[in-house]
Structure 1
Amino acid sequence: MTITNEWLGISESEFYPYRNITTKSGYLCGTSAATVFLCYYQDHLVKTIVPEHIRQNGSENTKALQDLLRVIIQPFDFPTISLQVSHGLSRYFRLFKLPFRARQTPVGGLERVKKRLLQGKPVIVGLMKLKGSTYGNHWVVAYGYKKDETGKEWLKVHDNWGNYHKVIPASWINGTISLP
């Protein structure tokens, strides 16, 4: 990709409604990131990806969805790896007989992030402390990408710690979860 210093992907204003989706305790960042991810899909891409009795399209009330995903993805509040989050989302899709299956990259994934963002699709991104992440090991939702004039690559993410427009180095990526 040769374009530099220009954000590609989804507008940050589309993630403003999810600003209050946060990790409230423990290690539930995988669940929080999955909640943001599914809300975006419901509001902008596939209206039926979340049943209406769980969350109304466009609603900022996400408690029922987040509670359900916690049971499916992280029932014991332990830290997660990409396989757990992707399998949890796939279990969610099977539960509601939805024609989706989450895909994961257990290591790296920047090319997948770029490809999905150019398609207008967000990506759940794992961050790794050993790669410099100031969040430690954490899950976020990426919706923007850019390469600056020095060649350094950046992501714009919903961090589920209360910042829906955080900019982080792409070098922190350690795995991704996406839909084809």
Structure 2
Amino acid sequence: MACIQWQGISEERFKRYEDWINSDGQLCGSYAATILLAYLQDYHPTFTLPPFVRKKGSSDGENLVHYLQLFIQPLGFSTIPLQVSWGISRFCHFMKQPQWARSTPIGGWERTIKRIDTGLPLIVGLNQRLGSTYGNHWVVAYAYGEDQEGKRWVKVHDNWGNYRAVVPAKWLMSTISFKEICEIAETNEN
């Protein structure tokens, strides 16, 4: 892989979640949501969770993933974008958070750039038909770049054990993201 000039969030911010591993294999939607919400709790003061779910700055995500699984994958089956975004939104509503997640079935690269440029990570779907060696899988994207040959890459937290995995952008299919946190705070103040 040629030298990549990365833009986005530092990978060190995701090291805390390094051991949050989806050993089941089918729960990647719930685990990706756990990483995303833990990140928001740790780095965006407008997003809070009750301490019984997760304490800010904690390296323990077990309770959070169990709660999210109830909303996203109660039966443990694989998920589609709408299922993940709707589950996250219902969880946020239940936790009295004004955020709502949105999904896009296509346009992964464009949405990834847009969200990361606002300082927010997002969940991206890797698609087997587009060449993903992971198969169909949900991960959290936090940086993007292009190499000297013009190939596009995304740095992700892979919930199978690598918080700094690098995947080709051509594998991206769908995305799950939040509106910018500052927009949400302004909307709620009006």
TM-score, shorter chain, exceeding 0.5: yes
Partner residue, 1:165: 164
Distance 1:115 1:168, change over 3 A: same
Q: Counterpart of 1:133 in structure 2: which amino acid?
A: S
Are the counterparts in 2 of residues 26 and 77 from structure 1 also a CA contact under 8 Å?
Answer: no
Aligned residues: 177
Q: Counterpart of 1:158 in structure 2: which amino acid?
A: H
Partner residue, 2:75: 76
Q: Percent identity?
A: 50
Structure 2 Cα separation of the partners of residues 42 and 76 of structure 1: 26
Q: Counterpart of 1:67 in structure 2: which amino acid?
A: H
Are the counterparts in 2 of residues 38 and 49 from structure 1 also a CA contact under 8 Å?
Answer: no
Q: Counterpart of 2:15 in structure 1: which amino acid?
A: Y
Are the counterparts in 2 of residues 128 and 173 from structure 1 also a CA contact under 8 Å?
Answer: yes
Partner residue, 1:100: 99
Partner residue, 2:22: 23
Partner residue, 2:187: none
Partner residue, 1:126: 125
Partner residue, 1:8: 7
Q: Deviations over 1:62-82 (max 9, x none)?
A: 111000011110011111010
Structure 1 Cα separation of the partners of residues 30 and 86 of structure 2: 12
Structure 1: which 5+ runs fail to align?
none
Structure 2 Cα separation of the partners of residues 89 and 46 of structure 1: 18
Q: CA deviation at 1:94?
A: 1.1
Structure 1 Cα separation of the partners of residues 56 and 46 of structure 2: 7
Q: CA deviation at 1:5?
A: 3.0
Structure-1-length-normalised TM-score:
0.95
Structure 2: which 5+ runs fail to align?
180-190
Q: Which moved more, 1:39-48 or 1:143-152?
A: 39-48
Q: CA deviation at 1:93?
A: 1.1
Structure 2 Cα separation of the partners of residues 34 and 122 of structure 1: 11
Are the counterparts in 2 of residues 121 and 143 from structure 1 also a CA contact under 8 Å?
Answer: yes
Secondary structure in 2 aligned to 1:42? helix
Secondary structure in 2 aligned to 1:165? strand
Q: CA deviation at 1:52?
A: 1.9
Structure 1 Cα separation of the partners of residues 100 and 48 of structure 2: 12
Q: Counterpart of 1:148 in structure 2: which amino acid?
A: D
Tell me, yes or no, if structure 1 residue 145 matches structure 2 residue 144: yes
Q: Counterpart of 1:177 in structure 2: which amino acid?
A: I
Q: Counterpart of 1:43 in structure 2: which amino acid?
A: D
Secondary structure in 2 aligned to 1:143? strand
Q: CA deviation at 1:97?
A: 1.9
Tell me, yes or no, if structure 1 residue 61 matches structure 2 residue 71: no
Secondary structure in 2 aligned to 1:133? coil
User: Going by fraction, where is strand more abundant, 1 or 2?
Assistant: 2
Structure 1 Cα separation of the partners of residues 4 and 133 of structure 2: 23
Secondary structure in 1 aligned to 2:162? coil
Secondary structure in 1 aligned to 2:20? coil
Secondary structure in 2 aligned to 1:147? strand
